[in-house]
Amino acid sequence: GDAPYPIFAYAALLPWNYFAGALNRSSTSVVNSAHLITKVYFPRLVIPLAGVLSGLVDFAIAFLVLVGLLIYYQVAPTWAVVLLPGFLLLTMLTALGFGLWLAALNVRYRDINYLIPFLVQVWMYATPVIYGTTLIPERFRFLISLNPMAGVTEGFRWALLGARLGDARPPDMLFAVSIALTLVVLLSGLVFFRNTERTFADLV
């Protein structure tokens, strides 16, 4: 399409940066809160949730940069911009789901702490942030949809740029698979976290 590349890339980098920060904070949150866990009883779920929510201020500031780019390049968002809060919520739930798994595992296996930055780096290259899904051959598109963040990054792009990407229709399959996978990871993460949280005070 004729979308300026800085907007094309930044529209995906915005949710990705929020996700990466939220995942880093939530996955290390329980270990970093050891002093609280051993002294005070409160729902442990609050700890990784706070790690996800605390990045929203930074996201809002970064979003203003995106608005500035849209004004500079004279790009008017499509009607689908009203769906951006939904894609942001999907980003938050994805970060929380994986964060719950990693936070609980990190208590028992501390080496995971060192793997998380590497995992996030590799994950970024597997996500259409600096490139679009149109660069991926059709027969491999389903594989990229197995990455929940692919639906988020493409969703942000579609909501902002729409027809400028050469396709005014949303990437339905990508969204559907991303939402389904996020729900599976989130629900299983909640169960795993709740089942292991009673041991946190002994292990941290």
The more confident residue out of 110 and 166 is 110
Q: Tens of pLDDT along 1-25?
A: 578 899 999 999 999 999 999 999 9
Q: What pLDDT shows up at residue 163?
A: 54
Contact 25, 100 (CB under 8 A): no
Give the start-to-end residue ranges of the domains of the chain: 5-203
Scored b (16 or more CB within 10 A) or e, 8-28 reads bbbbbbbbbbbbbbbbbbbbb
Q: Tens of pLDDT along 47-71?
A: 999 999 999 999 999 999 999 999 9
Backbone angles phi, psi at 194, to 5 degrees: -65, -35
Q: How far apart (Å, rounded) are the C-alpha atoms in residues 196 and 204?
A: 12
pTM: 0.91
Q: Tens of pLDDT along 134-168?
A: 788 878 877 888 899 999 999 999 888 875 565 55
